[in-house]
Amino acid sequence: MKCSATLVPVLGLVLTAVIPISGQSQSDRTSNGQNAVAANASVQPAAGPSIKAHDESFIIGNDDVLAISVWKEPELTKAVPVRSDGKISLPLVGEMQATGRSPLQLEQDITAKLKDFITTPEVTVIVQQVNSRKFNILGEVTKPGSFPLTASTTVMDAIATAGGFRDFAKKSNVYVLRKGPDGSESRLKFNYKEFIKGKDTAQNIRLEPNDTIIVP
């Protein structure tokens, strides 16, 4: 008898759950199914090439590695290093100048070349490895040498990256050698002792590619 009493409410719950479903008409079920399909389709990504934002401030340099993708053309999708002469080589396209171009500009160059072979080429260029943006630090630091340069690297960042000053470094006479587009060279002074006292903080400039910091 205890078992029978227990089953009654359970069966009632099952029937309550089933009745609304069985009461649906065929047209209701079809309509609900179509709505579910439509809702699901609305969140599915559209087929096609990937779309990404470009950093137009970045300029490709020698030794950078580029990931080049051509939609639906797997033989043209590959990682390509920029050679020391500033060029890359691709099937169908041949050799192209990459150094000095932004990723978007290079995409447009490759697309124009491929139009002779592909009706509507969709090209994506991503800088996979940045090897061209470097700075040098020489002299009385713990680890002199060449280091990767990020967009926010300052003189102080560079000194820290190089392990700091050696004991006899002339901290007031640090300077940055920078080459201009015309090949001219400028010298930018950095007085560490003044900087750490909060004086002339603007001298802690952001470095540019191929800057050389000299610590006498």
- Compute φ and ψ for 74, nearest 5 degrees: -60, -30
pLDDT (tens place) for every residue of the chain, 216 residues total: 444 444 444 434 443 444 444 444 444 444 444 444 344 433 343 333 333 446 677 889 989 999 999 999 999 999 999 998 999 999 999 999 999 999 999 999 999 999 999 999 999 999 998 888 899 999 999 999 999 888 789 999 999 999 999 999 999 999 999 988 788 899 999 999 999 999 999 999 999 988 999 999
Q: Architecture of 134-215 per CATH?
A: Roll (3.10)
Pseudo-torsion of CA 194, 200, 204, 206, nearest 10°? -170
Q: Identify the pLDDT of residue 132.
A: 86
CA distance 167 to 158: 18
* Ordered strands of the 145-148 beta sheet: 145-148, 134-139, 212-215, 174-179, 185-190
3.40.50.360, 3.30.1950.10, 3.40.640.10, 3.30.930.10: CATH of 65-129: 3.30.1950.10
Q: Identify the pLDDT of residue 181.
A: 75
Name which of 184, 183, 180, 173 is nearest 213 in CA terms: 173
Q: Identify the pLDDT of residue 55.
A: 66
Only one residue has tokens 């903080």, namely 201
- Compute φ and ψ for 88, nearest 5 degrees: -125, 165
Domain ranges of the chain: 65-129, 134-215
